[in-house]
Structure 1
Amino acid sequence: MSANKTTHRTIPVDRIDPDPDQPRKRFDPTKLNQLAASLKTVGLQQPVRVRYRPADRRYTLIMGERRWRAAQLADLTEIDAVVERGDKATFVQSVVENTARADMTPIEEAAAFKQLIDDGMTAEEVAEACAKSVPYITWRIDLLRLTPAAQEAVSKGHLSVGLAWEISELSADVQSRILGQWSRGEFTGTREAVEVAKACQQVEQQRVEGMFEVDEPSEEAKTEIRRRRDGLTSKFDRLAAAGEILAEFAATDPADLAQLLAGVHGGASAYQDRTEALYRVAGKAATNLRKAAAIAAAATMLADTEEDAEVAAEQ
């Protein structure tokens, strides 16, 4: 591409049009009003960049749409601009400028990165141009698999990027169900929601492998499940006694513990090591149980989603 010729001019605000390819679509009204107030007081400190269109003698914004919008709010009639003539400034310029700003939404970034790749750039080239890592580029683009409602939730900050990425791996119906539960506050937090989203993927795979049978299990299978369930729950019931012992240790004054255990081989340190080992194992057990709860919730969620789809199909 040949180098663009530029000039520095003051041009009428109303002869400038926003670039329809601008990757950034949302502008915080509060920050715009703050900038407008600043423009009234100290004026524009950095010119916008525009491209001249000889056909209609108007200008298209390349960089600085936020400043241009604030100038309109400030009732400015003219604005300083760097005017480009010749080749059209590449979309990369807008992407690079706007991804450097904190207020560009993840979905706007994703759409911009995808457009660059659709236009022929590789993920590596986009990453280099925008000073991002390749995984960052690909993970952002993955967000475009979200349903429109989920994308809107991300753009408004109602859904974290990490949780949104996990949800994006799911079907549209399951995405909608998880988003509904999230908006109603039915999850204890982001971690639980992420676990359920991951479990939904796992359950679908396990269904394929036959772990979650759709058909009613045989009597022999039911008997075996009950046997294993009874054995497991009886072990959990015995944990209550261990909990009472640990609660007693926790309530005892450290000085008393030191005196009482002084005559025991290894003293308090030995019991500390054993208790901390229990703590580590209990943490792993709690993690497994949390994941199990997520898988159970996911299985129910997928079943409900399939039932809703069947009902809708019959209507």
Structure 2
Amino acid sequence: MATIKLAKITPNPKQPRDEFETPEMIRWIDDLAESISKYGQLEPIVVRPYGTPVRYEIVAGECRYRASLKLGRTAIEAHVLRNPGLDELDLFELSMIENMHRKDMTPMQDARAFGRLVEGGRTVEELAERFRISTQVINLRLALLDLRPEVAQQVDKGLIGPMVGAMVAKLTKANQGAILTRIMRGDFNRDNEAIHFADAMFKAQGQEHLMLVEEMTPEQATKHRATRDRLDSAFRRVSGLEAALTFAAGIKPEELAVLLEDAVLAGQLRTIETAGESINKIRFALRQAIHVRAAHQALADGKTDETDADAPTPSVGSEASAGQGPGTHPHPPADAGLPPGIDAGRQAEADPQAGNAVPEDRCAAAEEPVAA
């Protein structure tokens, strides 16, 4: 532990958290400065020595450093790393761990940081073990590096969820621009709708169009007509059941208990549960089919011609006007299917007799947990 003059300390230009001038970050640092002024510095920053005469570069704790500068202090408590075996990548990894465990970074900050570590020779499996998150989460973040800048910007703002971003990243750059326009104008009510549409568009990229009846072999055409007839008949019967199900659903449990015997009740429950599973499956399939047709239509309309890949995406407007699409609130809910990850809630504790101090280094333009 050492007390070091702030004038001898410099921030790390390569640290994972790359934005400190956003309104949210400025508020966090202001709150942290107030907390340090009231409770003192609860935890030292981490620095490494370099150069002659000796100066110090921040490895972890830039928010505490900035808050101390704001308070007009001249020195700060610091832990000095003197391990010559630590290279630049090791120090970057330490800084990222510090940032992620104190307060989550944005998905794009995660993506860029993980990308740098992978480029430096770390494997996804090593990172998963080191950061205590799944390989799936890391691969999803790395996928975001394939986004065109306009889409990545909306992910960083929290206007597009990371799961949606990862699926959109699979598309060509032109198609990414097309789906961004749809997202920002509010074509999708939920993240899942945007994900399924992007998936359908990804699959459609390799096809000229949906197969037409005229293009089928005689055997395929015969099977197509038979399936279509059976499907029409099935949906007619489903429509006829709607009134019967509505009637049955309107009977109170107390009445059902009197009207039906135990065996009948149990049997009907099994029938309804089985039917419910089938209804959920066909409902999902119908929604998917809608996205498939819409994706093929979008490609057929020529709106996503690959010749426009480098053309600017139509304006997505302000955050206020862009608030109709999925994931448009500042702290979107966890995306379906994303596995649980690390606990980013580690905070410095204040003296219980003095009240609750603002956690040190709550430095985040955080959008959602790393593995939310």
Does 1:181 find its partner at 2:179? no
Instruction: Quote the Cα distance in structure 1 between the aligned partners of 2:228 and 2:213.
Output: 18
| Aligned-residue offset at 1:67 | 0.8
* 1:209-231: CA deviation from partner (whole Å, max 9, x where unpaired): xx625x9956999x987897676
1:51 aligns with 2:48: yes
Q: Name the counterpart of 2:244.
A: 245
How many angstroms apart in 2 are the aligned matches of 1:114 and 1:65? Answer: 22
Give the corresponding residue for 2:347. Answer: none
- Conserved 8 A contact 2:174-2:309: no
Query: Which residue of structure 2 lines up, in the alignment, with residue 18 of structure 1?
Result: 11
- The answer on 1:199 being equivalent to 2:197 is no
- Partner amino acid for 1:282? I
RMSD: 3.2
Q: Could you tell me how far 1:45 is from its partner in structure 2? A: 1.7
1:291 maps to amino acid: Q
In 1, Cα distance between equivalents of 2:46 and 2:258: 77
CA contact (8 A) 1:47 1:82 kept: yes
Segments of structure 1 that go 5 or more residues without pairing to the other structure are: 1-7
Q: How much does 1:141 deviate? A: 1.4
Counting aligned pairs with the same residue, the percent is 31
Asked if the contact 2:298/2:304 (under 8 Å) is kept, the reply is no
Q: Secondary structure at the match of 2:194?
A: helix
Q: Which position in structure 2 is the counterpart of 1:99? A: 100
Matching residue within 24, 37, 40 for 2:37: 40
Q: Distance in 2 between matches of 1:42 and 1:178?
A: 49
- CA displacement, residues 236-293 of structure 1 (integer Å, 9 cap, x when unaligned): 244222101111111234444444445xx95343333333322222111111111111
- Aligned residue type for 1:40: S
Match of 2:66 in 1: 69
| Matched residue, 1:3 | none
Are 2:178 and 2:303, in contact at CA under 8 Å, matched by a contact in 1?
no
Cα deviation code 1:1-24 (max 9, x no counterpart)? xxxxxxx43233233221111011
| SS of residue in 2 equivalent to 1:100 | helix
Look up the match of 2:351.
none
- In the alignment, structure 2 segments of 5+ residues that lack a partner are 311-372
Higher relative helix content = 1
2:173–2:309 Cα contact (<8 Å) kept: no
The SS at the match of 1:169 is: coil
Distance 2:147 2:102 in 1: 23
Aligned counterpart, 1:141:
142
Larger Rg: 1
Cα distance change, pair 58–134 in 1 and its aligned pair in 2 (3 A): same
Deviation at 1:32, TM superposition (A): 1.4
The structure-2 alpha-carbon separation of the partners of 1:256 and 1:97, relative to structure 1 and needing over 3 Å to count, comes to: closer
| Offset at residue 93 of structure 1 (A) | 1.6
* Contact residue 26 and residue 104 of structure 1 kept, 8 A: no
> In the alignment, which residue of structure 1 is the partner of 2:210?
212
